[in-house]
C-alpha cells in the first residue's frame, strides 16, 4: 500500500496558490551546478514545468559550486522571479558530491530529488520517480539504458567502473546508475547523519538499505556547454567509490606481497640449482636489475594503497567543514515558516 498524504484536508494541486510560509514542500529538488550559464534557464524552465504538474508545493535548491561565469547572477535573478527557488553559493569549488550534500542539508521536502543542471538526466523522469515514491518506495534511482552524446571512451570506462566497483564493494551498488534519484525524507536524514568527508553518494544510499527501486531511462546529450567532469575528476570519484566501500585493495596489497615473496623464493631456488649443478655460471646484471625494479615496484604500489587509506583517516581527523557558504538566496521566508510550525507532509506510509 502506498503513502498517504498528511498535509491537511486534501493533496495539493497544480492550481493552488503557493506561499512558502504556508506549506512545507512535498517535493524538493537539489541541482548542483558549476559554470552552467548556457543551460541554467532551460533547466529551470523544464524543472518548474514538471514539478508544477506533480505538486504545486515544491522547492528547487540550486548549489553553485564555485562558478566563475554568470551562474550566480542568473540564480539570483531566478530566485527573485520565483519564490520556490533557493540557492546556495559556495566560497569556492568543493566538488560535486559535497554540493549534493549541501543541497540535501538545505531541503525541507518530504521527498528529495537529485539532478544535475546539464539536462542529460531528463527532468520529465521525475514524474515516474514521484509515482514510485507514492507507491511506497523509499529510494527511486535512474538506470541509464542509453547514453547519447558521450564518447566511446566515456561509455566504456563508465561501464568498466560500475562493474569493477560492484565486484570490489561489500555493498551492492546498482550498475549504470548516477546520482539522479529520489529519496524519502527519512533516507535523506539517515544519509546526512553519515559524517565521512570523501563522499560517494550513490554508494552511501545503497549502503543505507530501505526500499529501493530502479527506473530505466535514456540519458540525453548535454543541452549546451561542456562537461565539467574531467578525466581526473572521474578518476577521483572512482577512487572515492572503491576506497570508501571496500577494503579489498588492502588485501590485494597483501596478496601482491606474498606473490613477490614467492617469486623471490623461486629465484633463490634457481640460483642454488645453478650453483650446484651447473658449476656456478656467472649471471649478468640484467636479472638483478629486474628483481630490484620488480620488488621496488611492488613495495611502492602497496605503500600507495595503504597511503590512500591513511590519507583519508588524516582528512577525517582534521574535522574541517565539508563546505563554506558565501551566499544564501531565498531561504529567509522558508526558515521563518519552519521555525513557527511543526513538520508536516507525507507520512512514511503503510506497506
DSSP string, 35-88: S-TTTHHHHHHHHHHHHHHH-SSEEEEEEE-S-SSSHHHHHHHHHHH-TTEEEE
What pLDDT score was predicted for residue 345? 35
Per-residue cell: 254? 597483501
Is the domain spanning 27-230+326-340 CATH 3.90.550.10? The answer is: yes
Write out pLDDT tens, residues 108-141: 889 999 999 888 889 999 999 999 998 889 999 9
- According to the per-residue pLDDT averaged within each range, which of 183-197, 213-227, 291-305 is highest? 183-197
Question: Which DSSP letter does residue 146 get?
Answer: E
Q: Which position has the higher pLDDT, 351 or 293?
A: 293
The C-alpha cell at 71 is: 551562474
For 239-297, the pLDDT digits (tens) are 666 666 666 676 676 677 777 767 766 766 776 676 666 665 555 555 676 677 677 77
Average pLDDT of the chain, as a whole number: 75
pLDDT of amino acid 86: 92
- pLDDT tens track for 324-341: 889 899 887 555 444 434
Answer whether 133's CB lies under 8 Å from 182's CB.
yes
Q: What is the pLDDT of residues 31-84, one digit of tens each?
A: 999 888 888 999 999 999 999 888 778 999 999 988 889 999 999 999 988 889
- Delimit the domains of the chain by residue range: 27-230+326-340, 248-318
Query: How many percent of the chain have pLDDT more than 70?
Result: 63
3-state secondary structure at position 113:
strand
Confidence bin at 169 (pLDDT 50/70/90) = low
Which position has the higher pLDDT, 103 or 286?
A: 103
Alpha helices for the chain (secondary structure H): 40-54, 71-81, 96-105, 126-134, 152-168, 185-192, 201-208, 231-245, 248-277, 285-318, 332-340
Q: What is the Cα 238 distance to its own chain's centre?
A: 11
C-alpha dist (Å) from residue 78 to 40, 42, 179, 218, 285: 10, 12, 24, 28, 71
- Residues with Cβ within 8 Å of 202's Cβ and at least 6 positions away in sequence, in order, are 141, 173, 174, 177, 178, 179, 181, 241
Q: Is the pLDDT of residue 351 over 70?
A: no
The pTM for the full model equals 0.66
3-state secondary structure of 219: strand
| Cell numbers found for residue 64 | 553553485
Mean pLDDT for the stretch of residues 308-328? 79
Alpha-carbon distance 296 to 300, whole Å? Answer: 6
Residue pair 330/76 in contact by the 8 Å Cβ criterion: no
As a whole number of angstroms, the distance between CA 175 and CA 158 comes to: 10
Angle between helices 96-105 and 231-245 (to 10 degrees): 60
C-alpha span between 271 and 245 (Å, rounded): 43
Element (H, E) at 287: helix 285-318
- Grade residue 165 by pLDDT with cuts at 50, 70 and 90: low
Neighbour-count burial of 56, counting CB atoms closer than 10 A to its CB (0-12 exposed, 13-18 middle, 19+ buried): buried
Q: Nearest Cα to 130, choosing from 203, 17, 47, 23? A: 47
Amino acid at each position: 500500500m502506498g503513502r498517504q498524504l498528511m498535509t491537511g484536508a486534501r493533496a495539493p494541486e497544480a492550481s493552488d496558490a503557493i506561499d512558502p510560509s504556508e506549506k512545507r514542500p512535498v517535493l524538493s529538488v537539489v541541482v548542483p551546478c558549476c559554470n552552467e550559464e548556457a543551460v541554467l534557464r532551460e533547466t529551470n524552465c523544464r524543472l518548474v514545468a514538471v514539478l508544477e504538474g506533480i505538486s504545486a508545493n515544491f522547492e528547487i535548491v540550486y548549489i553553485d559550486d564555485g562558478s566563475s561565469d554568470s551562474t550566480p547572477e542568473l540564480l539570483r535573478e531566478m530566485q527573485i522571479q520565483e519564490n520556490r527557488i533557493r540557492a546556495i553559493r559556495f566560497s569556492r569549488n568543493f566538488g560535486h558530491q559535497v554540493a549534493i550534500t549541501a543541497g540535501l542539508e538545505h531541503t525541507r521536502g518530504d521527498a528529495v530529488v537529485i539532478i544535475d543542471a546539464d539536462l542529460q538526466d531528463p527532468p520529465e523522469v521525475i514524474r515516474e520517480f514521484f509515482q514510485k515514491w507514492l507507491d511506497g518506495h523509499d529510494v527511486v534511482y535512474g538506470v541509464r539504458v542509453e547514453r547519447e552524446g558521450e564518447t566511446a571512451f566515456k561509455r566504456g570506462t563508465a561501464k568498466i567502473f560500475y562493474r569493477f566497483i560492484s565486484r570490489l564493494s561489500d555493498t551492492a551498488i546498482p550498475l549504470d546508475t548516477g546520482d539522479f534519484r529520489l529519496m524519502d525524507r527519512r533516507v535523506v536524514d539517515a544519509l546526512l547523519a553519515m559524517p565521512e568527508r570523501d563522499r560517494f553518494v550513490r554508494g552511501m544510499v545503497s549502503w543505507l538499505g530501505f526500499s529501493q527501486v530502479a527506473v530505466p531511462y535514456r540519458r540525453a546529450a548535454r543541452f549546451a556547454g561542456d562537461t565539467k567532469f574531467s578525466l581526473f575528476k572521474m578518476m577521483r570519484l572512482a577512487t572515492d567509490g572503491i576506497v570508501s566501500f571496500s577494503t579489498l585493495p588492502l588485501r590485494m596489497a597483501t596478496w601482491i606481497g606474498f606473490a613477490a615473496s614467492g617469486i623471490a623464493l623461486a629465484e633463490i631456488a634457481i640460483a642454488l640449482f645453478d650453483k650446484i649443478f651447473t658449476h656456478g655460471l656467472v649471471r649478468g646484471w640484467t636479472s638483478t636489475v629486474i628483481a630490484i625494479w620488480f620488488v621496488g615496484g611492488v613495495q611502492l604500489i602497496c605503500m600507495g594503497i595503504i597511503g590512500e587509506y591513511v590519507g583519508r583517516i588524516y582528512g577525517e581527523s582534521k574535522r574541517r567543514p565539508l563546505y563554506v557558504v558565501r551566499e544564501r538566496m531565498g531561504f529567509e521566508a522558508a526558515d521563518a515558516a519552519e521555525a513557527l510550525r511543526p513538520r508536516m507532509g507525507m507520512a512514511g506510509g503503510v506497506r
